[in-house]
Each structure stands twice: as structure tokens, then as C-alpha cells.
Structure 1
Amino acid sequence: MKYRLLVLLLLCGLKGYNQEIQRFTADTIKTIQLDSAVNITAERLSVETFIRAVTTDTSFYQAFRNMKKYAFTAENSIYTYDKKNKVTGRLYRKVKRQTSAPWLQYVVKQDTGHLFKKNGKYELYTAEMFDYIFMNAYQSAYTDGPSAVGKASGANAGYKEKLKTLIFSPGRPVKGLPFIGDKTEIFTANMRQYYDYAFSSGTYLDSIPVYRFKVTVKPDLSRWTKGSLMIKELTTIFDKRNFEILGRYVDMKYSNMLFDFDVQMNIEMRYFGEEKLPAKISYQGNWNVPLKKQERASVLVLQSGYHQGR
């Protein structure tokens, strides 16, 4: 059972924040300035236009694969917390990647608290899975194939693949997850009665013209119905000039007799020259499974200094 629920580690959130430490707000929209006068109907856009773009886009995931072509610097911090939201562990890493080498150079690597087991593996599945999804992007495991990030191996391989679907292909079903596999399909005819779909115009990072497509749970639903919906919000930022995705924010929460989770996660892209590449990833979450230690964690990843060559 524990392996069947591994993928739920990214479906977690934090209720109440420790005031002694800065928490990372997962909100792409804070980089968006909405135009005062929005007139985009003349461009013949509709909700269906954005739904098709979200469900068929490959450029968002491609941006992660494109990182292997560049040298860059990355900083990432992982914090873990107890039930009172007191920090129990911290891992900070600053790494450099050179295009001439398939490995990472650790400029700084510091950890405090209870993060690792005696065998060197992470205490929390959250940290393990996050490393697999994003630290893997820094290495040669990201291929130019049409499907997935590298190839997962080991006992948890199938669940790591499902986790990637949740991150890079929201709105699609995730087969093999007990009780929630179809709850990710927020664009089906049956699920549309529970969601509001809205799009607006704005500016991203002060200069890039964008559309914001926001999917949220309808406010007038009953408490029981709201509780049965896993994805509470999915916001996508599109570059007006090429309709590629520049940002994604997802808020997911669900609870039943077997587990409960609450997650907010944000991924932002920026242009480096003509290439769209990841710039910021933030995550905060909490998940609880019977007979397992409750996990509370937050993560911040910052990418910078992209350049080709050594």
C-alpha cells in the first residue's frame, strides 16, 4: 500500500506557516499585471481554445529537457516540518552544470536536522520524488524522446511516472492511483459542471504579453461536492506571441479514509535568448497516510545563469 501511495507526496500542502522562517508562496499570478481594459474576444479565443492548448501542449515539458543543452547555476532548498510547523530539517544546495560534463558540481551542500536515514536515503518520500523529477533534469537522463523525463527505475518507477503526468499533463487521467485517478480530468463534460473557466490578458515579468487561463472550483457548490474535487485551481500563463506555456500553478486537496493531502505548486519559465527554460519552482505541502509518518515540506528551486558552452 505504501508504494501505491508514493505519488501522493507531491499532492500536499501546509496549513499554517512557521513565522520564524520565510515560506515560499506558490503563485505564478503575482508576476502578472492584468490589463485594465481586456478585449480578447475579437481575437476569436474561447475557453475551448485554452483547454486544447493545456491538454496538447508539449513545450512546457520540453523546456525541462532543453536544460541539458546549457550550463547554468541552480539553488534549491528543502524544508521539513513537524505537526506544529516547526522546522525539523533543511537542505540547501547550490549546483553548477557544465555542458562538457554529465554530472553536477556542488558549490554548496548543507543539511541540518532529520532529513536522511542511516543508509543515506531521504526520510521523506517528498524529497526523494522531488529530486527525481527536478534534479534529474540537470543530468543527461532527460532525453529528446516524445514521452517522459528519463526512465524511472526501481520499485517506485511506475509511481514516479504518474507523478510526472500530474505535473506536466494536468487534466489527463492518472491510471493506477487508488480513488483519485479520474479526479484529475477537470476538462471532461461531466467535470465541467463543477468548475469556472476564465481567461484574461496581462503582462508577465513587465514585458511579455500573456493570457492567463484560470480554472477554479465553483463557489456555490455544496461543501460535500467541493470536498470530492481534487484540483481546486489550475492556472496557466500563455505567451500571446506563440501560445506556449510560461507558467503553471496548481492547487490540489483531497481527503478520504486512506489519506489526505493539500498541495500548492508553481513552475515559472523565462526566456534566455530565444530559448524558454525553467526559472523558478516552488512547492509546499502536507500528506498523511495511515501507518506512515505525516510529511510536511516546502521546496524552492531557482535557476539562473544559463549559457552555452563550458
Structure 2
Amino acid sequence: AVTTDTSFYKAFKDMRKFSFTAENRVFTYDKKNKINGKIFRKILHTNSGKTHKVQYLAKSDSGKVFKKNGKYELYTVEMFDYIFSNTYSSEFTQGASSYTKGKNASYKGKLKTLIFRPGTKVKGIPFISSKTEIFGKEMREFYLYQFARGTYLDSIPVYRFKVIRKPSTAPGDVIINEMTTIFDTRTFQILGRYIDMKFNNMFAEFNVQMNIELNNFNGDLLPVKISYQGNWDVPFHKEERASFLILHKDYKQE
């Protein structure tokens, strides 16, 4: 169900049918993990038919966030918007079209696959592709699979399915250290996903944790919180350290 479920991706696609308020925060860090840049946006998204309007309710930047040409310093921001292109725009960049191509498009595409289709094979990156199949025969020996009941957002009965690296597994044998998926027991819809990924070779180095939470609004499952903490070092870009907190509120169907 985890590898074939489409409700998680659909929740992001369905946002275009609603108006909502988004609060977007980004922090960047230096090599000592001290904050050296901040970005904040509070945005009213209005969707009426095919028209999407954006109104900035609050906007601020500080620290090292811009290049000399006025574009954002962060490749991480670019990558984040690409991952959710056509499903969600954080309004940190000028839209998806400017970065769907280029030197690192393949890396961004792979991360998008990991988030929306976890457990499937990701092709095209040396030494990584087969390690994403955490439910496959070759990778099962490296993981523990845990299943438990719980409560989500104080009232929703859920199943928590956790895939976690065995303590005896060497870090280099896996790319996904943990993936937890939360299902509504009544509908089996995915309400949340946490993923912890770490990898290091001559082609790429990253250490990423991301948590995405969904909630039901009058029968529609929609994103309410996205948090991200990650270090990236990929070809053609300097190392980046950043964290995000994205909150969506006041969904109203147009």
C-alpha cells in the first residue's frame, strides 16, 4: 500500500481547488550550524476557477540569502519548489519552469520520487538506485518493519508503519534510515510521512529529514505542515544547510 498509494500525492494536487493562508519560514546555516540567513513569507493563496492569485501578507529576508543577481542563494529552495512543482509553490522562486531543466534536474527528480513513491527503485544515480527499494528482497535484511496503532492530531485513530534501519546495519548499506507512514484506520488514507535519508559517495552527499502532515477538510485530504532539515552537497553547487517550516491554514473551497 505504501508504494502504490496515490492519496498522498493527490492531497498536494487538490490544493489548487482551495484558498488558504501559508506561513513559510526558511533558515540557512553555516558550517558550524549557526543561522546565517532567514526568509519569511505569509501568503494568501486564492484559487477561483483557473485563476490563482497570491497576496503577500508579510514578507522579510535577512542575512545571506541573495546572490548578486538578486536570485536566492539557496539551491535547496530551488529544489524544494521543484519537488512540489504543479502541486505546491512556496513562492520563494519564480515558478517551476526555470529549474525543471539543468545540471541537477535528475537529483531533484530522484528526491521527488522518494517522497511521493517511497520504496520504489530510483534510477540514474550511481550506488543509490537499488538502495531505495526498502521493501525489496535485497534490502529487507537491513531493516526492521514495525506496525502499531496510535492517535493522530489528538483524535484520529491511525496505524503507524515504520521502516527503520537495523542497529547492526552499516550506514553505507542503506540510504533510508527511517520511513514512517501514518494511515487513517477508517479510510486507509495516508495522513503523514516522515523520512530520514543519509548518503555519502563521490557523486553526492546528503543528510535529510522531512516530515509532511495532512488533514481532512470536509472530505478532502490536504497538507497542513511540512518541515525539513537537510544538508546537501551535490555536483556544481557548494554545500548547503537549511531548514524549512511550512504551515497551511484556513482552507476554503472556492
Normalised TM-score (structure 1) = 0.74
Q: How much has 1:150 moved relative to structure 2?
A: 9.4
- Map of 1:166 onto structure 2: 114
Matches within 5 A, 1:6-155: 53-100=1-48, 101-134=51-84, 136-138=86-88, 153-155=100-102
- Structure (1 or 2) with the greater strand fraction: 2
Aligned-partner SS, 1:129? helix
Decide whether the 8 Å contact of 1:228 with 1:254 is kept in 2: no
- Give the Cα–Cα distance (whole angstroms) in 1 for the partners of residues 155 and 97 of structure 2: 34
Find the aligned partners of 1:104 and 1:294 in 2 and give their Cα distance. 32
Moved more, 110-119 or 238-247: 110-119
Are the equivalent residues in 2 in contact too, given 1:173–1:181 (CA < 8 A)? yes
Q: Cα 1:150–1:267, aligned 2, differ >3 Å: closer, same or farther? A: farther
Q: Cα 1:116–1:302, aligned 2, differ >3 Å: closer, same or farther?
A: same
The answer for unaligned runs of 5 or more in structure 1 is 1-52, 140-148
Compared CA separation, residues 174 and 135, structure 1 to 2 (3 A): closer
Residue 256 of structure 1 aligns with which residue? Answer: 201
Could you tell me which of 167, 171, 178 is aligned with 1:226? Answer: 171
1:275-304: CA deviations, max 9, x gaps?
Answer: 110000000011234774221000000001
Post-superposition offset of 1:258: 3.8
1:227 positional shift? 2.6
Q: Distance in 2 between matches of 1:162 and 1:151?
A: 18
SS of the residue corresponding to residue 151 of structure 2 reads strand
Specify the structure having the higher radius of gyration (Cα). 1
In 2, the alpha carbon distance for the partners of 1:255 and 1:161 equals 18
**Equivalent position of 2:218 in the other structure:** 273
SS in 1 for 2:149: strand
Q: Distance in 1 between matches of 2:218 and 2:236?
A: 49
* Structure 1 position 176 matched with structure 2 position 121: no
**Letter paired with 1:175:** K
Q: Distance in 2 between matches of 1:74 and 1:290?
A: 32
Contact 1:254 1:260 in 2 (8 A): yes
Distance 1:178 1:124, change over 3 A: farther
Relative to structure 1, is the Cα distance of residues 152 and 103 closer, same or farther in structure 2, using a 3 angstrom cutoff?
farther
Where does the alignment leave 5 or more consecutive residues of structure 2 unmatched? 90-95
Equivalent in 211, 220, 242 of residue 159 of structure 2: 211
> Partners in 1 of 2:36 and 2:236 — Cα distance?
20
How much has 1:97 moved relative to structure 2?
A: 1.0
- Residues 13-64 of structure 1, C-alpha deviation per residue, up to 9 Å, x if partnerless? xxxxxxxxxxxxxxxxxxxxxxxxxxxxxxxxxxxxxxxx101100000000
Equivalent-residue separation in structure 1 for 2:134 and 2:97 (angstroms):
27
SS at match of 2:28: strand
Match of 1:201 in 2: 149
| 2:181 pairs with one of 221, 227, 236 | 236
| TM-fit CA distance, 1:151 | 11
SS in 2 for 1:137: coil
Deviation at 1:262, TM superposition (A): 1.0
Q: Secondary structure at the match of 1:305?
A: strand
Q: Structure 1 162/150 Cα, relative in aligned 2: closer, same or farther at 3 Å?
A: farther
Overall identity of the aligned pairs, in %: 60
Q: How many residues align?
A: 245
For the residues of structure 2 that align with 1:195 and 1:249, how far apart are their CA atoms? Answer: 16
Q: Once the 2 structures are TM-superposed, how far is the Cα of residue 135 of structure 1 from its aligned partner? A: 6.8
Change (3 A) 1:257 1:160: closer
